[in-house]
Amino acid sequence: MMSTHTLFEVLVAIHIVTGATGLVSFWVPVAGRKGGINHARFGKLFTMMMLITGSVAICIALTTLSDPIATHPQLVDHPQFGDPALIAGIFGWMMLYLATLTINLAWHGWLCIQNRRDHLANRAWHNLFSQLLLTVASINCAWQGWQLNQLLMVAISMVGFATVATNLWFLYKPNPRPLDRIKEHIKSLVGAGISVYTAFFAFGAVRMLPEIALTPALWSVPLITGLTLIIYHQRAVTLKFRARAAV
């Protein structure tokens, strides 16, 4: 029978392959020409990889929660991460939250484009259920962070609450304009990229340099970069639509 540690390592390997593929493909639609063949092709690849990566991350988180020490034996003697409760909090509950956030954003952003001619289809049960799951995961991440005195977990959970709020705003807007749909698409898929880059930076750092893993600066780099991209692209499409309206 496969040991918990071996199962964990297999899941991490799959997670790295799918996540890396997604994070490379992320830049083609972000930096390339919008609306073209490559935009659609690599955008779809990115979305699929995010859904797979997020699903595998959920399995990694659950494996960690089942046995924190067996899944992270290299941290047993670490002065900070040697605590099983902290391992479970960071690599279990917070990873579970980030995985749920990634899946939510990727799926919601994909639906915004797929249902461009039928806005009500965006309110499918699976998308609404995803908002509920993310809310629960965000509450739990904040609570676990508070219990562990890890304010980083509390702070990062706020992104989940903001995501659900903006998703629901779009889903229940009576007659969203094409501009609203495109801006929501940008927010969601770039947001999924932020989530996975954050996880790769942070959890990768713990495996190599545990001392810097919980440094706020490390977590802020992908967040600031992603927010800058969202603001830039949303402003660009807004100006483009205004120019069309003026013509």
Question: Whole-number mean pLDDT of the chain?
Answer: 89
Does position 209 have pLDDT exceeding 70, yes or no? no
pTM of the prediction? 0.92
pLDDT of residue 36: 81
pLDDT of residue 245: 74
Indicate the range of 118-132, 133-147, 159-173, 184-198 predicted with least confidence: 184-198
To the nearest whole percent, how much of the chain has pLDDT over 70? Answer: 95
Does position 217 have pLDDT exceeding 80, yes or no? no
Task: Quickly state the pLDDT bin for 207 (edges 50, 70, 90).
Answer: low
50-109 pLDDT tens trace? 999 999 999 999 999 999 988 888 877 877 777 889 989 988 999 999 999 999 999 999
pLDDT of residue 126: 96
User: Quick one: 82 exposed, middle or buried, by C-beta within 10 A (0-12, 13-18, 19+)?
Assistant: middle
Task: Output 91-94 pairs: Cβ under 8 A, ≥24 positions apart.
Answer: 91/60, 91/61, 91/64, 91/203, 91/206, 92/61, 92/62, 92/64, 92/65, 92/68, 93/61, 93/65, 93/140, 93/141, 93/144, 93/153, 94/141, 94/144, 94/145, 94/153, 94/156
As given in the structure block, the two tokens for residue 101 are 């956030």
Task: Quickly state the pLDDT bin for 127 (edges 50, 70, 90).
Answer: very high
Task: Quickly state the pLDDT bin for 205 (edges 50, 70, 90).
Answer: low
Question: At residue 181, what is the residue type?
Answer: R
